[in-house]
């Protein structure tokens, strides 16, 4: 773990910050958990009290943060980003660990330079593992799988045949890449398995959460575009085409052959019916069910997913529904009264 003096960190955040050159800073922390040797941050003036009470050696705050007197703060444009950069200084660099004697690497696998393979990881024949990849304990790299450079495959993840990963892809524990797509045809008296012989192509800088599953294509490829981030327990069915820089939040489920445009965001637990097309730059709110195509740059929500404001109006109306039912009943009576009255008048 590296250490820096407070002054060194201050100068990394130029211009104009200072700190004691003697205090060694050992890392970052939240305001509450700060000790005298950590840096913290606050991005809202509401946190003034916490900033004043914090033990942090210095606190990153916005330029317009209230006066803090003696309390050392560093005023920056974006405290969260500056904090992120300091955090990255302290993130542990993994040592080169080489290939553990209890790993199993097939002689016909091709490993790049400085690859780490943890105990009980298994790398199959014809697999290609790029430079500086780290294969975690118990992880599986199947026959013919290709990993780019600097991928991290966490403990017990399974990357099955058909998968081709770009550079710097992170696959978290217990995720499954390139399991068979779910395809059957009814034949005589049973569901007959359709062989799933396609690929999964994953772009650079993709991250895939724990227990997520990206199925291989029946034919052709299931694609995840570069820079896309996938949370835990997400399911992406066979032959999907997920764009670049997409966000799929936890427990999203996407049926087969769906396309999602670049920069779109699907909230937690969103479900998407098969063969649909979701545009680019579109947000689908959590728990929505997408039942037809969605255009670019819209905000959709609900089951079925529809324009967010429309859905909100309907939801607000639904909450008034029991009252509406009563009101209509009253009106019905009133109409009958009026009619009776008119008949009376008419008779009179």
Out of 12, 24, 45, 81, the residue judged to bind a second copy by CB under 8 A? 81
Q: Which stretch binds a second copy (CB under 8 A): 6-14, 65-73, 127-135, 188-196?
A: 188-196
Could you say which residues in the range 6-25 bind a second copy, by CB under 8 A?
none
Residue 194 is a binding residue for a second copy (CB under 8 A): yes
Q: Give me the least distance between CB of 67 and a second copy, in Å please.
A: 25
Q: Which stretch binds a second copy (CB under 8 A): 16-24, 50-58, 61-69, 206-214?
A: 206-214
Whether 238 sits among the annotated catalytic residues: the reply is yes
Residue 259 is a binding residue for a second copy (CB under 8 A): no
Number of residues that bind a second copy (CB under 8 A): 108
In the Cβ-directed half-sphere of 258, how many Cα atoms lie within 13 Å? 25
| Dihedral angle computed from the Cα positions of residues 133, 138, 142 and 144, in that order, rounded to the nearest 10 degrees | 20
- Judged on CB neighbours under 10 Å (0-12, 13-18, 19+), 346 is exposed
Out of 96, 191, 275, 297, the residue judged to bind a second copy by CB under 8 A? 191
Distance CA 266, CA 286 (A): 7
Q: Which stretch binds a second copy (CB under 8 A): 47-55, 59-67, 292-300, 306-314?
A: 306-314
Residue 93 is a binding residue for a second copy (CB under 8 A): no
Sign of the C-alpha dihedral, residues 33, 34, 38, 43? Answer: positive
Q: Give me the least distance between CB of 337 and a second copy, in Å please.
A: 8
Out of 150, 167, 201, 205, the residue judged to bind a second copy by CB under 8 A? 205
Could you say which residues in the range 139-158 bind a second copy, by CB under 8 A?
140, 142, 154-156, 158
Could you say which residues in the range 99-138 bind a second copy, by CB under 8 A?
100, 102, 104, 118-122, 124, 136-138
* E runs forming strands in 48-106: 58-62, 73-76, 104-105
Q: Which stretch binds a second copy (CB under 8 A): 12-20, 26-34, 59-67, 69-77?
A: 26-34
Q: Which stretch binds a second copy (CB under 8 A): 51-59, 108-116, 127-135, 334-342?
A: 334-342
Out of 12, 45, 91, 108, the residue judged to bind a second copy by CB under 8 A? 91
Which stretches within 200-320 are classed as H helix?
Answer: 308-319
Closest to a second copy by CB, 52 vs 250, is: 250
Among left, alpha and beta (phi > 0; psi -120 to 50; other), residue 304 is: beta
Distance CA 21, CA 86 (A): 17
Residue 286 is a binding residue for a second copy (CB under 8 A): yes
* CA 259 to chain centroid: 17
CB–CB of 308/288 below 8 Å? no
Residue 251 is a binding residue for a second copy (CB under 8 A): yes
Closest to a second copy by CB, 17 vs 235, is: 235
Helices 308-319 and 321-347, packing angle to 10 deg:
60
Residue of 172, 235, 238, 263 marked active site: 238
Among left, alpha and beta (phi > 0; psi -120 to 50; other), residue 27 is: left
Residue 47 is a binding residue for a second copy (CB under 8 A): no
CB–CB of 1/27 below 8 Å? yes
Among left, alpha and beta (phi > 0; psi -120 to 50; other), residue 89 is: alpha
Residue 320 is a binding residue for a second copy (CB under 8 A): yes
- Residues with catalytic function: 238
């Amino acid at each position: 773990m590296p250490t820096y003096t407070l002054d060194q960190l201050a100068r990394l955040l130029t211009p104009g910050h200072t700190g004691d050159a003697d205090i060694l800073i050992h890392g970052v922390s939240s305001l509450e958990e700060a000790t005298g040797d950590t840096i913290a941050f606050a991005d809202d003036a509401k946190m003034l009290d916490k900033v004043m009470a914090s033990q942090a050696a210095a606190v990153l705050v916005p330029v317009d943060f209230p006066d803090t007197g003696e309390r050392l703060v560093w005023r920056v444009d974006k405290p969260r980003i500056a904090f992120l950069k300091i955090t990255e200084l302290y993130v542990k660099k993994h040592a080169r660990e080489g290939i553990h004697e209890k790993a199993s690497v097939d002689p016909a696998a091709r490993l790049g330079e400085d690859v780490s393979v943890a105990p009980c990881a298994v790398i199959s024949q014809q697999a290609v593992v790029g430079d500086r990849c780290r294969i975690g304990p118990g992880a599986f790299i199947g026959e013919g799988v290709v990993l780019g450079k600097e991928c991290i495959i966490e403990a017990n993840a399974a990357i099955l045949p058909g998968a081709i990963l770009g550079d710097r892809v992170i696959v978290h524990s217990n995720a499954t890449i390139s399991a068979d797509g779910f395809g059957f045809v009814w034949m005589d008296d049973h569901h007959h398995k359709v062989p799933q012989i396609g690929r999964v192509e994953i772009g650079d800088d993709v991250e895939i959460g724990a227990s997520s599953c990206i199925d291989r294509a029946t034919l052709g490829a299931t694609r995840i575009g570069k820079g896309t981030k996938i949370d835990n327990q997400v399911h992406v069915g066979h032959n999907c085409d997920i764009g670049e820089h997409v966000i799929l939040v936890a427990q999203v489920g996407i049926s087969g052959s769906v396309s999602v445009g670049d920069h779109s965001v699907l909230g937690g637990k969103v479900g998407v019916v098969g063969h649909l097309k979701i545009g680019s730059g579109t947000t689908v709110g959590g728990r929505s069910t997408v039942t037809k195509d969605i255009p670019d740059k819209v905000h959709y929500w609900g089951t079925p997913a529809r324009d967010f404001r429309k859905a909100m109006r309907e939801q607000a109306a639904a909450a008034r529904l029991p009252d509406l039912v009563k009101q209509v009943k009253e009106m019905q009576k009133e109409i009958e009264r009026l009619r009776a009255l008119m008949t009376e008048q008419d008779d009179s």
